[in-house]
Each structure stands twice: as C-alpha cells, then as structure tokens.
Structure 1
Amino acid sequence: MNALTLPPRPSLQSRPYDRIAVIGGGAWGTALASVAATAGRDVTLYTRRTAVADAINATHRNDAYLPDVALPPQLCATADLQVALAGADAVMLAVPSRAIRSMAAQVAKFIAPGLPVAICTKGIEPATGLLMTQVVEQEIGNARLGAISGPTFARETALGHPTAATVAFPFTYADRLSPHESAAARFAISLSSAAFQTYISDDLVGVEIGGAVKNVIAIACGMMTGAGFAENTRAVLITRGMAEMKALAEALGGSRETVTGLSGAGDLTLTCSSATSRNMSLGLQLGQGTPRADCFEGRAVVVEGEVNAVSVTDLARRVGVSMPICETVNAILNGNLDLKAGFHKLWTRPIEGEPKGLEILLANPVHIAATQGIQKL
C-alpha cells in the first residue's frame, strides 16, 4: 500500500432502536409499522379509531387501509396515544400533512427530551412555507427530528416487495465522529430487512423537498396522460420536474445531488408512472375532463399534491425560484386555467439552456407566432 492509498472503510456496527412508536394508522403508517416489526423491533401503532386498533390486534389486518395485507402478529395497535408512546426509544410520525401540526402538539405531551422522531409525511405547510420537520420542530422543540422518504407505495411495502428509502437526519459534530451512533444510522438499522433497504442522508432539506414537489409533478403527468398525450410528454415532465426540485432544494440550503437519489428522482419516477399514486390518479381524471367533485367516484380522497401545489409555488415565489410546471398545475387546480391551454403555454415558454451554468434565454417561435395571430398549431 503506497502513501496515497487509503485503507478500505470498515463496516461499523450500529444499534437499532428496540421500541418504536408509529403514529398514524393509515396505509403508510401501517406499512411502516409492519416494516419495523418485520425487522425485529417492538412496535406499537397508534390509530385514532379504537375499532381499527382492536381489529389489527385481533385479525392482524388493517381492513380500512390495507385489507389484503397480513400484518406481523407481534405488531400491536392502540387508540391511546400515551400508551403508544410509553417507553418508546424512537417515533415515526406518519399522518397526513394537514394534521401534522396538531398531532405533533399532542405527541409533545408524552415524549422524553431528545427522543428521535422521524417524519414520514411529505409536504410543505400552506401559509407558513415550512417543511414538515420544521412544523414539528415548532411543536416538539426538544426532539431530534429527521425524515424517512423514498419510492414507497404503502401496499407494496407492507406486502414485502423489495423497497428502499432514505433516512435523513442532520449530523452533529459527534455524529461525524461516530456516524454509526447517529439517529439516521440507528433508524436505518431499525428498519432494514431482506425486503426493506435503507440509505442514510444528512441533507434533510433536500430529502423533504423531493417528497413535496414530486406530488405536484405527478398530478401534471396524470393530467397530460389523461388528456391523451403519450410517453414523450411524461418523460419531459419528470425530467424538468426534477430540475424544479433541484432549484428549490438548493435555494433552501439543500443539495442538488440529494434530489437525484431515492427521495427525489426515485420517488418522482414511481409517483409519475402509476395510477396507484393518488396524485397521478387525480391528474388522469382531470385530464379526461372529470370535474374535481366527481373524481374518485365522488369520494373525499385526500390528495397531498393538491395542497402541495399551492404551498410549493408560494414558497418558490418567496425565494425567487422559477417552477413553471408546478405553477401550471396550481393555476389549473386553483386558478380556473384551462388544462390544455395551460400546458400549451408551458410548451411555448422561452427556450433555455439545460445545463444549470448555461445562461441563455431565447424567445420561443411558437409564442411569437401566436402573439402575431399566426396559426402554427
């Protein structure tokens, strides 16, 4: 070995969290609880409804959200939040984004200072522009906060199909010296199994931005598919949507590289490629001309991208980032912009340089022709 050759990095042994509380008995919370229990953890799942908790304990199924998934028999459920959190070494918070603040305030009453809490909810809070971990920090100021995100449909994850996700926590100086003792590493070990692979990140902002913006891009992909456009169009929206993710993450102090990982490109690709995603499914229905009130057969289905369309574009404007795809989706959903007219406008924007460092802006000839009254399309 010469003087310039470094020895191979040793594999470090980390310690899992033995007892994990999962807050949120929906599909994703149930799937995460199943993942942790399968990995050997002592898991308690909190759900608001006593009937759901009783059914999980009696039948090992969550018929309300994952009816065809057999849950690990050692997984326990409760409708008592204090019971769920009692003695927990770590917490995973997996409730809808609109409920994250109120639930965090309740959780704060029952957890010890410094407890690691992983936010498993994707989004940006309307009005404040805060990421989910920032919202929770305002309610639980004495916890170690991180996020778990990636290309993870709940049902597939719970069924044990090979899945991977990123565990992101800020790294302290002590974490740099002993990374295997960091909250990110210990959470990653706590969830890892033959079917669930974890990766570690210290870029909390980048991971959270990917999870929030991909919902809006997925609605765009659904809209275009529903309107009759094909694969070329979807590929453009995915690629340029990722560019919008990168720009917003960087403006907020995150890394562009993080957005190319599981929580960005991975989640974006998954969500934009399947009607299993409620975001893409909503876009498909709207693209086919179905009024919003009639989508999902008139059922009140929560679609995170609808909320995110407003909060993402508001935040982008605040920090001076151009996000034309997200702006278009927001205008169609909330500004009475005609869908086809909105996407025609998107396709006739000025011509830009694609590499970030190439500063160029050209007038689009289609736009010029349209403003001169010449029919080109």
Structure 2
Amino acid sequence: MSKVAFLGGGSFATALSNLLGEKDNSVYIWARDEKVVHDININRRNSKYMKNIVLNHNIIASMDIKEVLKDADYVVFATASHAIREICKKAKEYIEEKSIIINVAKGIEEGTSKLMSDILEEELHNPVVVLSGPSHAEELAAEIPTTVVSSSRHICHAEAVQELFMAPYFRVYTNDDLVGVEIGGAVKNIIALAAGVCDGIGYGDNAKAALMTRGMSEIIKIGEKLGGKKETFFGLTGMGDLIVTCTSMHSRNRRAGILIGSGSTMEEAVKEVGMVVEGIKACKAFYFLKEDLNISMPITDTLYRVLFENKDPKEGVLELMQRDRKKESN
C-alpha cells in the first residue's frame, strides 16, 4: 500500500490518518509537540486534539520531518493556512519528486492573496490536490458518513487521491475546478464566524438563514471573479461546507463568533476556543482582496469592522439590514 506523510498532528490530520491506517497504508505524522508524538506512539491516542479514538497500529508519529517524508507517495499538508509557506520551506528538501501533495488547509495567504495550491506549486513543484468539503474531524473519526471533493489541475491526480481516501463512511468526489473548491472552503469560514456572532447576540433561525444565503452570494461573487465555476459553489465545497460550518458546534469559527457576539473580544474568543480560527485571518485577507477587485461583500465588510475596528455587532447587523434597497440577484 502507500506511504502517506502528514505534516501537522491536529484533529483533522488525526482523523484522516486513522482512516488511511485502517486501509493498511503506512501513515506517518510529523508533529512539533513531543507530548503528541509520545501519546500517538505509546498510547495510540492523540489526547490533545482527538481523545476519543484509539489510533490504528499503522500510524507512526515523529518530530523528525525527514523521516516522515522519506519515500512518501503522498504528503498531506494539515496545518493552519497561514503556516503553509513556512512548512513548505522546512519540508521541501525532503519531499520526494514522486510525492503527490494533498492540501486540507482552507484560506488565502495574507499579503499576496494566493491560494494554498498556488503557494504549494510555487514552493514545491509537485502535483497538488486539494481535499475539501463538509468534514468535521470529530464526526469523521467516529466514522459518521462524510463526503468531500478531491480537486486538482490534473484530474488523474485528483482521482488518485479519491482512490486513496475512499472508504465505506468517507465518499470522495472529483472536481477539476481547483479555484472554486478553494475559494468556497476559504470564504465560508468568514460567513460561519458571522453566523456565530448572530447566535451570540441571540438572533434566531430567520437571521441565520438570511446570513447563510447572502453569504453564499458573496462566495459566488468573489469566486467567479477569481476564476471559479458557479456550479462548484452549489456543491460540497461551497454550499455543503457553508451549511456544516455555520450550524455545527464542532465549528471553531462558529464557536468563536458566538463568544464575540456575546461580548468577548476577538483575542478572548480565540483563547477560549483554543485552536486556530481560520475565519479571522480569512476575513482580513478577503476584505482587502475584494477592495482591490471592487466587489461588494457587505457581510465581510461588517465582520471586518467588528473584528478589527471594535464595531458593535448589533450596530453592524442593523446597518446591514438598513442598506439601500436592491434586487436579490445583485
């Protein structure tokens, strides 16, 4: 079977690793935390991130990135989006020419507005595949039915990753719209954070439905502008990911938003969640990108002001509701 190297030992990496281990692949996890490495190798658990599952015996953890990457058929980047370039530079001399790169991080690079696939192709020169969709690690680890999308500029690589991950409880589709898949996965984090803010304020289902629907409009606007296909945004990596991230308490973005809507500062919310909240960095990056592209994204605008300009969330919602009249299709 294949050797699969994971760069990052968080919850999603752990869940995916266990799936692949159960399929008799040789799975290596590179983690910086010595306690995580020890826990995986000795106790067959990752108590820090995914304490409720016993890990398959085919999984080995290490702090030695060279050992993890040696002879790997696939290398999975399972780190926070803002760390992708740093990890690329650290790993590139050890990544085999044959290795297919799989990215599961969602976001764009602050300052350059580059997609994760752009960074990986720029730094590594290996085939790149994005694996994305509505897939909370907690449910995947519990083998609850989950569906995702494998996307690449070359469909043969997407199909190879599809075959690698397919399992009775994990269905993988392919899609050649790499830009659309990545933009949907990144912008939905902004909308999920805003949905959490509305929940924290105490608004109900009407407000949530409106926010998600108009949020989808923002995803489509900027996604099409950047070259994505409209139909992609109505699929798993657009609408599907938006639904799960806006409605689930597994969502770090939603949980952080609830805290902010309840009166916590952004910093307090991130500390309480205890993990990276991708929607915060995504909001900042897409706020400036949509300004450069001259695209109207009022939810993103408002959330940016709440996060970075101390805008009162209730005032922000009121301003959204009282904007000039317009057609729904605009």
- When normalised by structure 2's length, the TM-score is 0.96
Corresponding position of 1:189: 163
Corresponding position of 1:202: 176
Corresponding position of 1:178: none
Corresponding position of 1:150: 133
Matching residue within 284, 289, 297 for 1:310: 284
Q: CA deviation at 1:299?
A: 6.7
Q: CA deviation at 1:228?
A: 1.4
2:229 is aligned with what amino acid?
S
Name the SS for the 2:216 alignment partner: helix
Matching residue within 77, 80, 88 for 1:96: 80
1:76 is aligned with what amino acid?
I
Corresponding position of 1:360: none
Corresponding position of 1:361: none
Q: CA deviation at 1:300?
A: 5.1
Aligned residues with identical type, % of pairs: 35
What is the 5 A alignment of 1:11-22? 18-22=2-6
Distance 2:180 2:133 in 1: 12
| Number of residues of Structure 1 aligned to a counterpart in Structure 2 | 330
Corresponding position of 1:218: 192
Corresponding position of 1:346: 320
Gaps of 5+ in 1: 1-16, 176-181, 357-377
Q: Do the aligned residues in 1 keep the contact of 2:76 with 2:102 (CA within 8 Å)?
A: yes
Q: CA deviation at 1:268?
A: 0.6
Corresponding position of 1:359: none
Distance 1:40 1:203 in 2: 30
Distance 1:282 1:184 in 2: 33
Corresponding position of 1:65: 49
Distance 2:103 2:271 in 1: 31
Name the SS for the 2:227 alignment partner: coil
1:325 is aligned with what amino acid?
I
CA offsets, 1:99-139, max 9 Å, x none? 11110112211112353101110011111111111122222
Matching residue within 335, 353, 356 for 2:309: 335
Name the SS for the 1:44 alignment partner: strand
Corresponding position of 1:136: 120
Q: Do the aligned residues in 1 keep the contact of 2:270 with 2:276 (CA within 8 Å)?
A: no
Distance 1:298 1:225 in 2: 17
The more displaced of 29-38 and 90-99 is 29-38
Q: Do the aligned residues in 2 keep the contact of 1:22 with 1:92 (CA within 8 Å)?
A: yes
Distance 1:49 1:108 in 2: 21
Establish whether residue 120 from structure 1 lines up as the match of residue 104 from structure 2. yes
Name the SS for the 1:20 alignment partner: strand
Corresponding position of 1:31: 15
Q: Do the aligned residues in 1 keep the contact of 2:75 with 2:101 (CA within 8 Å)?
A: yes
Name the SS for the 2:94 alignment partner: coil
Distance 1:39 1:196 in 2: 12
Name the SS for the 2:129 alignment partner: strand
Higher-helix-fraction structure: 2
Q: Do the aligned residues in 2 keep the contact of 1:225 with 1:284 (CA within 8 Å)?
A: yes
Matching residue within 254, 261, 264 for 1:287: 261
Q: Which has the larger radius of gyration?
A: 1
Sort the Cα spacing of 1:300 and 1:31 in 2 relative to 1 into closer, same or farther, 3 A: closer
Name the SS for the 2:247 alignment partner: coil
- When normalised by structure 1's length, the TM-score is 0.84
1:99 is aligned with what amino acid?
A
1:23 is aligned with what amino acid?
L
Q: CA deviation at 1:33?
A: 1.1
1:304 is aligned with what amino acid?
E
Q: CA deviation at 1:297?
A: 6.6
1:341 is aligned with what amino acid?
E
2:292 is aligned with what amino acid?
R
Establish whether residue 267 from structure 1 lines up as the match of residue 241 from structure 2. yes
Matching residue within 51, 70, 81 for 2:35: 51
Sort the Cα spacing of 1:243 and 1:298 in 2 relative to 1 into closer, same or farther, 3 A: closer
The more displaced of 130-139 and 225-234 is 130-139
1:132 is aligned with what amino acid?
M
Distance 1:305 1:279 in 2: 6
Distance 2:61 2:133 in 1: 25
Q: Do the aligned residues in 1 keep the contact of 2:71 with 2:96 (CA within 8 Å)?
A: no
Distance 1:164 1:190 in 2: 14
Q: CA deviation at 1:148?
A: 0.7
CA RMSD, aligned part only?
Answer: 1.6
Q: CA deviation at 1:73?
A: 1.9
Corresponding position of 1:228: 202
2:137 is aligned with what amino acid?
A
The more displaced of 84-93 and 38-47 is 38-47
